[in-house]
Amino acid sequence: MSKRTFRIWRGDKDGGKFVDYQEEVSEGMVVLDMIHRIQASQAEDLACRWNCKAGKCGSCSMEINGKPRLACMTRMNVFGPDETITIQPLKTFPIIRDLVTDVSWNYKQNKRIPKFKPKPKNADGTHRMYQEDVDRVQEFRKCIECFLCQDVCHVIRDRDRKNEFVGPRFMIRLASLEMHPLDDDDRIPEIKKEFGSGHCNITRCCTEVCPEHIGITDNGIIPLKERVVDRYYDPIVWVGRLLTGKKVRTKTRAEEAGEKPNDE
Amino acid sequence: MLDVSELQTIEHDVLVIGAGGAGLRAAIACSANGMNTGVVSKSLLGKAHTVMAEGGMAAAMGNVDARDNWKVHFRDTMRGGKFLNVWRMAELHAKQAPDRVRELEEWGAVFDRTKEGLISQRNFGGHRYPRLAHVGDRTGLELIRSLQDHGIHQGIHFHMECTALGLLKDGERIAGAVCYWRETGRFVLFRAPAVILATGGAGKAWRVTSNSWEYTGDGLTMAYHAGAELMDVEFTQFHPTGMVWPPSVRGTLVTEGVRGDGGILKNKDGKRFMFEYIPPKFAAETADTVEEANRWLEGDKKARRPPELLTRDEVARAITAEVKAGRGSPHGGVFLDIASRRPPEFIKKKLPSMYHQFKELAEVDITKEPMEVGPTLHYFMGGIRVDADTQMTRVPGLFACGEAGAGLHGANRLGGNSLSDLIVFGKLAGDGAAEYVRKLSTRPAPVKDQIEQIVRGATAPLNRESGENPYVLQDQLQDMMGRCVGIVRTEAELKEAIDGLDKLNARAKNVKAHGASQYNPGWHAAIDIGNLLLASEIVTRAALMRQESRGAHTRLDYPGERDEWLKYNVVIRKSASGEMEVEKVERPAAPPNLYAMAHATIEDLEAGKVGAEEGK
Helix A104-112 × helix A168-178 angle, to 10°: 30
The distance of A171 to chain B (nearest Cα, Å) reads 15
CA distance B63 to B164: 41
Which residues, 6+ apart, have CB-to-CB distance to A124 below 8 Å? none
pLDDT digits (tens, 9 = 90+) for B559-607: 999 999 999 999 999 999 999 999 999 999 999 999 999 999 999 999 9
The radius of gyration of chain B from alpha carbons, rounded to an integer in Å, stands at: 23
List all residues of chain A from 208 to 247 with a beta carbon under 8 Å from chain B: none
The distance of B427 to chain A (nearest Cα, Å) reads 20
CB of A98 less than 8 A from some CB of B = yes
Are A130 and A50 a contacting pair, CB within 8 Å? no
Binary contact (A98, B519; C-beta < 8 A): yes
Binary contact (A131, B252; C-beta < 8 A): no
pLDDT score of A19 more than 60: yes
Say what the pLDDT of residue A244 is.
84
pTM: 0.96
Which chain B residues are Cβ-neighbours of A100 within 8 angstroms? 519
Which chain A residues are Cβ-neighbours of B352 within 8 angstroms? 142
More reliable by pLDDT, B249 or A104: A104
Say what the pLDDT of residue A240 is.
83
Q: Which of A115, A208, A203 lies closest to A156, judged by CA? A: A203
The DSSP-derived string for A129-182 is --HHHHHHHHHHHT-----HHHHH-HHHHTS--TTT---HHHHHHHHHHHT-TT
Average pLDDT over residues A204-213: 96
DSSP code of B128? Answer: S
pLDDT digits (tens, 9 = 90+) for B422-449: 999 999 999 999 999 999 999 999 889 9
CA distance A149 to A13: 22
Of A73, A110, A116, the CB nearest to B107: A116
The distance of A68 to chain B (nearest Cα, Å) reads 16
Per-residue pLDDT band at A264 (split at 50, 70, 90): very low
Q: Which of A23, A57, A132 to mutate to test the interface with B (most CBs of B within 10 A)?
A: A57
Q: Which of B187, B215, B219 lies closest to B517, judged by CA? A: B187
Which chain A residues are Cβ-neighbours of B145 within 8 angstroms? 141
Average pLDDT over residues B470-475: 96
DSSP code of B113? Answer: B
The distance of A145 to chain B (nearest Cα, Å) reads 8
pLDDT score of B158 more than 80: yes
CA distance A112 to B581: 51
Say what the pLDDT of residue B616 is.
65
Which residue type sits at B187? Answer: F
Which chain A residues are Cβ-neighbours of B19 within 8 angstroms? none
Binary contact (B357, A54; C-beta < 8 A): yes
CA distance B438 to B35: 9
Average confidence score pLDDT of chain B: 96
Catalytic: B127?
no
List all residues of chain B from 316 to 375 with a beta carbon under 8 Å from chain A: 352-353, 356-357, 360-362
How many residues are listed for chain A in this entry?
A: 264
Lowest mean pLDDT among A219-233, A250-264, B88-102, B371-385: A250-264
**Facing residues of B162 across strands?**
B181
- Count residue pairs from A and B with Cβ separation < 8 A: 170
Q: Which of A12, A36, A52 to mutate to test the interface with B (most CBs of B within 10 A)?
A: A52
Binary contact (B357, A75; C-beta < 8 A): no
In this structure, how many other beta carbons lie within 10 angstroms of the beta carbon of residue B479?
A: 13
Percent of chain B with pLDDT over 90: 94
pLDDT score of A172 more than 50: yes
Average pLDDT over residues B460-472: 95
CA distance B305 to B318: 17
pLDDT digits (tens, 9 = 90+) for B123-149: 999 999 999 999 998 999 999 999 999
Average pLDDT over residues B287-304: 94
CB of A102 less than 8 A from some CB of B = yes
Exposure string of B33-50, with b = 16+ CB inside 10 Å and e = fewer, is bebbbbbbbbbbbbbbbb
The catalytic residue among B25, B128, B134, B259 is B259
pLDDT score of B1 more than 70: no
Are A50 and B347 a contacting pair, CB within 8 Å? no
Per-residue pLDDT band at A162 (split at 50, 70, 90): confident
Q: What SS3 state is found at B287?
A: coil
Binary contact (A144, B141; C-beta < 8 A): yes
The catalytic residue among B25, B73, B93, B239 is B239
**Facing residues of B374 across strands?**
B242
Strands, E, within chain A: which ranges?
Answer: 2-12, 15-25, 61-64, 67-70, 85-88, 95-97, 100-101
Of B152, B253, B356, the CB nearest to A55: B356
Backbone angles phi, psi at B449, to 5 degrees: -60, -40
List all residues of chain A from 25 to 64 with a beta carbon under 8 Å from chain B: 26-30, 33, 39-40, 44-59
The distance of B219 to chain A (nearest Cα, Å) reads 18
Which chain A residues are Cβ-neighbours of B140 within 8 angstroms? 56
CB of B378 less than 8 A from some CB of A = no
DSSP code of B67? Answer: T
pLDDT digits (tens, 9 = 90+) for B182-210: 999 999 999 999 999 999 999 999 999 99
Average pLDDT over residues A2-7: 94
Q: Which of A51, A93, A117, A213 to mutate to test the interface with B (most CBs of B within 10 A)?
A: A51
CA distance A205 to B521: 32
pLDDT score of A263 more than 50: no
Of A39, A141, A145, the CB nearest to B471: A39
Distances in Å between the Cα of B586 and the Cα atoms of B276, B573, B589, B590 are 35, 15, 9, 12
pLDDT score of A113 more than 90: yes
Are A65 and A14 a contacting pair, CB within 8 Å? no
Binary contact (B52, A28; C-beta < 8 A): no
Strands, E, within B395-543: which ranges?
Answer: 398-400
Q: Which of A45, A130, A177 to mutate to test the interface with B (most CBs of B within 10 A)?
A: A45
The distance of A143 to chain B (nearest Cα, Å) reads 9
Binary contact (B47, A51; C-beta < 8 A): yes
The most distant pair of C-alpha atoms in chain A lies apart, rounded to whole Å, by: 74
CA distance A115 to A105: 18
Catalytic: B327?
no
Q: Which of B9, B20, B11, B14 lies closest to B37, judged by CA? A: B14
Percent of chain A with pLDDT over 70: 98
DSSP code of B274? Answer: G
Q: Which of B254, B231, B473 lies closest to B354, judged by CA? A: B254
The distance of A11 to chain B (nearest Cα, Å) reads 11
The radius of gyration of chain A from alpha carbons, rounded to an integer in Å, stands at: 22
